[in-house]
Structure 1
C-alpha cells in the first residue's frame, strides 16, 4: 500500500500507517472475511497499488495506538494476550489475533474504538461474528472459549448529551458482552465453509466479474421514496418503502413517487480498493443509480 501525507502530519503518524501487512497465499485473516468477497479479493490483488493518505487513517491509527498502550498490560496467570492463531480450514489457513483471552473465565476480550451511534443503535453483529470466530478458533486448538466482550472506546462521546439524553451512553467506555452456544459454533463453521467457498470461486474471476458486495457490505443507507407534486421543488414526504409512499399519496395527494437510491457509504468513504471496482466507477462515481420517478 502506498501511504501519502498530503497535510504534512507528524512523522510518527506516517510511521504507524506504514506498518504493512503481507498477504500470504491461501491465508485469510478473520477481519478480511468480514468484508465483502469483492473487496477482500481486490485488496489482495491490488495491494501494492492502493493509495491512502494518513489523514484518512486517523481513527484507524487511534485504534492502533489504544492497542499499543494496552499491550503493556502484564498477562495474568490464566491470560493469553495479543496471540495470533492460525488453523487449517480446507485448502486455506484461517488467521486471527484476539486482544486477550482468560482461560479461567473462558472469555475473549477485544478492544475497539467506535462511535456512540453504534452503541445507541445496538449494531453489534460484526463484533459478534468476529469474536465468535476467535472463540471457534481457540476451541479448535484446545481452549474452552465460551464467550466474549468488546471494550469499546467511544471517540465522539459527549458528556453533555450523556446528562440530558436517556438513550445516550453514560460513559465514553462501554462493554458489550456475548455468550456463545454449541449451536453458535456449529453455525460459525457453516458460515466459514460458505465464505471460503465464495472466495475459492472468486479467486478464479477477473476483477469486473467478482460478486457485487451486498447492500449491507456496502453500508447502503437504503432507498427512499419521495412523494412529489408538479410545480413544487421539494418532496411532500419521503418514506422508507414504495408501499408507504403509495399509501401516503392516496391519503394526502401527490402526482408521482421518486425513487432515491441509497448511498453506498462503504464504497464512498471506507473501501481502500474502490478505484479498482467497476461497481464503484459505474454506480457511485458516474451515478448510474440516480433518482427516477415512477
Structure 2
C-alpha cells in the first residue's frame, strides 16, 4: 500500500501507517471474510497500488493505539491475549486474532472503536459474526469457547447528549455481549464453507466480473421515493418505499414518483480498493455527482 501524508502529520503517524501486511496465498483473515468478496479480492490483487493518506487512517491508528495500551495487561494463567489462530477450512487457511480469551468464563473479548450510532441503531451483526468465528476457531483447537463480548470505545460520544436524550448511550464505553448455541456454531461452519467456495470461484474471475458487494456490504442507505410536482424542484414528500409513495400521491396529489438511489457509503468513504472497482466507477461516482 502506498501511504501519503498530505497534511504533513508528524512522522510517527506515517511510520505506524506504513506497517505492511503480507498477503499469504490461500490464507484469509476473519476480518476479510466479513467484507464483500469483491472488496476483499481487489484489496489483495491491488495491495501494492492502493493509495491511502495518513489523515484517512487516524481512527484506525487510534484503535490500534487502544489495543496497544490494553495488551500491556499481563494475562492470567486461564487467559489468552492477542493470540493469532490459524485453522484449515477446506483448501484455505482461516486466520484470526482476538484480544482476550478467558478459559474460565469461556468468553472471547474484543476491543473496538465505534460511533455512538452503532449502539443507537443496535447494528451488531458484523460484531456477532466476528466473535462467533473466533469462538468456533478456539473450539477447533481444543477450547470450549461459548460466547463473547465487544468492548466498544465511542469516539464521538457527547456528555451533553447523554444527559438530554433517553436513547443515547450514557457512557463513552459500551459492552455488547453474545451467547452462542450449538446451532450457531453449526451455522457458522456452514457459512465459512460457503464463503470460501465463493472466494475460490471469485479468484478465477477478472476484476470487473467479481460479484458485486451486497447492499449491506456497501452500507447502502436504501432507495428513496420522491413524489414530485411539475414546475417544482423539491419533492412534495420523500418516502421509503414505492408503495408508500404511491399511496401518498393518491391521497395528496403529485405528478410522478422519482426513485432516488441509495448512497453506497462504504464505497464512497471506507473502501480502500474502490478505484479498482467497476461498480464504483459506473454506479457510485455518477450517483454522487448528481447529488
In the TM superposition, residue 286 of structure 1 has moved relative to its aligned partner by 3.1
| Aligned residue pairs, count | 291
Residue of structure 2 equivalent to 1:189: 189
Residue of structure 2 equivalent to 1:29: 29
1:173-184 to 2 correspondence within 5 Å? 173-184=173-184
- What stretches of structure 2 of length at least 5 have no aligned partner? none
Residue of structure 1 equivalent to 2:209: 209
In the TM superposition, residue 285 of structure 1 has moved relative to its aligned partner by 1.8
**2:44 is equivalent to residue 44 of structure 1:** yes
1:222-241 to 2 correspondence within 5 Å? 222-241=222-241
Contact 1:260-1:290 at 8 Å conserved across structures: no
Residue of structure 1 equivalent to 2:250: 250
In the TM superposition, residue 288 of structure 1 has moved relative to its aligned partner by 9.6
Q: Distance in 2 between matches of 1:219 and 1:42?
A: 18
Q: Distance in 1 between matches of 2:62 and 2:289?
A: 35
Residue of structure 1 equivalent to 2:72: 72
> TM-score, normalised to structure 1's length?
0.97
Residue of structure 2 equivalent to 1:15: 15
Q: Distance in 2 between matches of 1:269 and 1:190?
A: 31
Q: Distance in 1 between matches of 2:287 and 2:275?
A: 15
In the TM superposition, residue 287 of structure 1 has moved relative to its aligned partner by 3.5
Residue of structure 2 equivalent to 1:286: 286
In the TM superposition, residue 170 of structure 1 has moved relative to its aligned partner by 0.5
CA RMSD of aligned residues (A): 1.2
Q: Distance in 2 between matches of 1:47 and 1:164?
A: 45
Aligned partner of residue 268 in structure 1, secondary structure? helix
Aligned partner of residue 286 in structure 1, secondary structure? helix
Q: Distance in 2 between matches of 1:115 and 1:288?
A: 23
Q: Distance in 2 between matches of 1:98 and 1:198?
A: 25
Aligned partner of residue 94 in structure 2, secondary structure? strand
In the TM superposition, residue 16 of structure 1 has moved relative to its aligned partner by 1.0
Aligned partner of residue 218 in structure 2, secondary structure? coil
- What stretches of structure 1 of length at least 5 have no aligned partner? none
228-237 vs 121-130, greater mean Cα deviation:
228-237
> TM-score, normalised to structure 2's length?
0.98
Contact 2:261-2:287 at 8 Å conserved across structures: no
Q: Distance in 2 between matches of 1:223 and 1:285?
A: 16
> For 1:241-291, what per-residue CA distance to the aligned partner results, in whole angstroms no more than 9, with x for missing partners?
000000000001101001000011111000000000011111122349969
Contact 1:261-1:289 at 8 Å conserved across structures: no
